[in-house]
Amino acid sequence: MTDLSPHQPPAPPGSIPHADVEHRLRVTDTDPKTAKRAERQVASMFLLSVLFTILFVVSYIGIDKTATIYIPVMGEVGALQIALGFTLGAAIFLIGAGAIQWAKKLMPDVEVVQQRHDQVSPEADTLDAAGQYERGKEESGFARYRMIRRTLIAAMALFPIPLVIMLRDLWVPTPDEVGKSPADILSTTLWHDGLRIVSDGTYRPVRPEDLPVGGLISGVPADLLEVEEIQGNLNARGKAAIILIRMDPADIRSQQGDGWDYQGILAFSKICTHVGCPIALYEQRTHHLLCPCHQSTFDLADSGEVVFGPAARRMPQLPIGVDEEGFIVARSDFAEPIGPSFWERG
């Protein structure tokens, strides 16, 4: 096929063979006016980019960071954010668009061809490499010195051990944790007999009459705020969080322990037994508790048993009562570990 390219490249240096493909001339190849227009088009894109960069700097200095602006479709939005994003985006985009337009309209669009070669090495190289390897092996005596070989393997096998051992102190047990395994620690919470349940967020103790039938309270132990952890009290919170609900005592079909409720008030762990999301999506009509993460559903009127979803275990119940001042208290810790399953749990 004939090559229709207008610029037949000169002699060898820097030339590439054209592909055996039909080539159509572009308008910019034949019409100098169009070519000139394309040139101006590309240049104006670069120029606009310059303009947008300047506008970016102006916006950065001139717009207050709390200012907002109404933009149709978007609504009321941060003015500085929109101005910076638009000017930066436009400035960068136009550089790219200009370069591509330049390539498409003004640089040659004749397809060229190169030959490929199989990746496999020439035989001579392969033979030589094999020879070199054999020579090296022979000279090292790796095959001969059996004792060296074996001790080297032993040394190499053992030397990573220190690196792994040193990971042990990623967890430095707190004074309370010393001597306990992770499984032990996961199995206990702050709750104990007589500890008041307070409403989370307001930390007010709860009286039974505060909680009407159909009511829900996210509760935490009364002494939670005294727990001093470096990040507040999140570790203790993550295990001790409960929900208190109240239903008509006639609706309670079963409980995890006899009389663990108080006049229809039940306390359950708030931490899902699947992978540990906190749950408080309590439907007061059905008494179902739904996890928003993976939709495990527990029936709180029926010992917190699983009725749907991937959780395998029921939601642990906390036995409750009322202290002499009339506030709701826990009667013990949970009878089983709360939260996700683990190997040692049994």
Partner 1 sequence: MTTSSPIEQAGGATATYVDKRLGSNKFLSRNLAKVFPDHWSFMLGEIALYSFIVVLLTGVFLTLFFKPSMLEVVYDGSYVPLQGVKMSEAYASSLDISFDVRGGLLLRQMHHWGALIFVAAMAVHMFRVFFTGAFRKPREFNWLIGVGLTVLALGAGFSGYSLPDDLLSGTGLQIARGIMQATPVIGTWMAFLLFGGEFPGTSFIPMLYSVHILLIPGLILALVTVHLMLVWVQKHTQFPGPGRTNDNVVGYPLMPVYMAKAGGFFFVVFGIIALIGGLVTINPIWVFGPFTPDQVSAGSQPDWYIGFLDGALRIMPNWETVIFGWTISWNIMIPAMIMPGILFTAIALYPFIESWVTGDKREHNLLDRPRNAPTRTGIGVMSIVFYCLLWVGGANDIIAVAFDLSINAITWFLRVAIFVLPPIAFVVTKRACLGLQRRDREKLLHGFESGRVLRLPHGEFIEVHQPLSPKDLAVITSKTDIVPLPAPERTDADGVRNKLYRIQALRHRLSTFFYGDNVPKPSAAEIEAGQHHAAHDAAIEAPLHDYEDADQIHTFHGGVLHHPGMEETNAQQIADRSHD
Partner 2 sequence: MKFLAARRRSPIVASALLIGALAVVGLGYAAVGSVQPAQAAVGTETQVEAGRQLYLEGCSSCHGLEAQGTGNAPTLVGVGAAAVSFQVGTGRMPLAAPGAQAPGNMPTYTDEEVAALAAYIATLAPGPAIPSAEQLDYADADIALGGELFRINCAQCHQAAGQGGALTQGKYAPNLMESTPQHIYEAMLTGPQSMPVFSDAQLTVEDKQAIIAYVRTLQTEASPGGLTLGKFGPVTEGVFLATAAFGALIAAAVWIGIKAR
Range 4-63, binding partner 1 (CB under 8 A): 14, 16, 19-22, 60
Asked if 208 and 322 count as a contact pair (C-beta separation under 8 A), the reply is yes
- 283-316: b (≥16 Cβ within 10 Å) or e: eeeebbbbbeeeebbbbbbbbbbbbebebebbbb
Asked if 66 and 81 count as a contact pair (C-beta separation under 8 A), the reply is no
Asked if 37 and 46 count as a contact pair (C-beta separation under 8 A), the reply is no
Helix (H, G, I), strand (E, B) or coil at 46: helix
- Stretch in the footprint of partner 1 (CB under 8 A) among 191-199, 258-266, 319-327, 335-343: 335-343
From the list partner 1, partner 2, none, pick the one residue 271 interacts with, judged by a Cβ distance below 5 to 8 Å according to partner type.
partner 1
From the list partner 2, partner 1, none, pick the one residue 20 interacts with, judged by a Cβ distance below 5 to 8 Å according to partner type.
partner 1
Decide if residue 7 touches partner 2 (CB under 8 A): no
Decide if residue 238 touches partner 1 (CB under 8 A): yes
Give Cα separations from 215 to 61, 190, 222, 246 (angstroms): 53, 24, 20, 6
From the list partner 2, partner 1, none, pick the one residue 47 interacts with, judged by a Cβ distance below 5 to 8 Å according to partner type.
none
Query: What is the chain's length?
Result: 346
Residue with tokens 């009459």: 209
Nearest to partner 1 of 53, 322 (CB atom): 53
Asked if 266 and 245 count as a contact pair (C-beta separation under 8 A), the reply is yes
Decide if residue 290 touches partner 2 (CB under 8 A): yes
Minimum distance of partner 2 from residue 69's CB (angstroms): 8
- Stretch in the footprint of partner 1 (CB under 8 A) among 153-161, 206-214, 258-266, 306-314: 306-314
Task: State which of residues 234, 253, 283, 335 lies at the interface with partner 1 (CB under 8 A).
Answer: 234
Among residues 259, 271, 282, the alpha carbon closest in space to that of 340 is found at 271
Listed in sequence order, the residues at least 6 apart from 164 whose beta carbon sits closer than 8 Å to its beta carbon are none
From the list partner 1, partner 2, none, pick the one residue 212 interacts with, judged by a Cβ distance below 5 to 8 Å according to partner type.
partner 2
Decide if residue 103 touches partner 1 (CB under 8 A): yes
Taking CB under 8 A as the criterion, which residues in 169-208 touch partner 1?
170-174, 177, 181-183, 185-186, 200
Asked if 221 and 329 count as a contact pair (C-beta separation under 8 A), the reply is no
x/- track of binding to partner 2 for residues 202-221 (CB under 8 A): x---xx-xxxxxxxxxx---
x/- track of binding to partner 2 for residues 148-187 (CB under 8 A): ----------------------------------------
Q: How far apart are CA 105 and CA 27, in angstroms?
A: 9
Q: How far apart are CA 108 and CA 99, in angstroms?
A: 14
Count Cα neighbours of 4 within 13 Å in the Cβ-side half-sphere. Answer: 10
x/- track of binding to partner 2 for residues 49-68 (CB under 8 A): -------------------x
Q: Which residues bind partner 2 (CB under 8 A)?
A: 24, 26-28, 68, 73-78, 81-82, 85, 100, 104-105, 109, 199-202, 206-207, 209-218, 245, 278-286, 288, 290, 292, 295, 297, 308
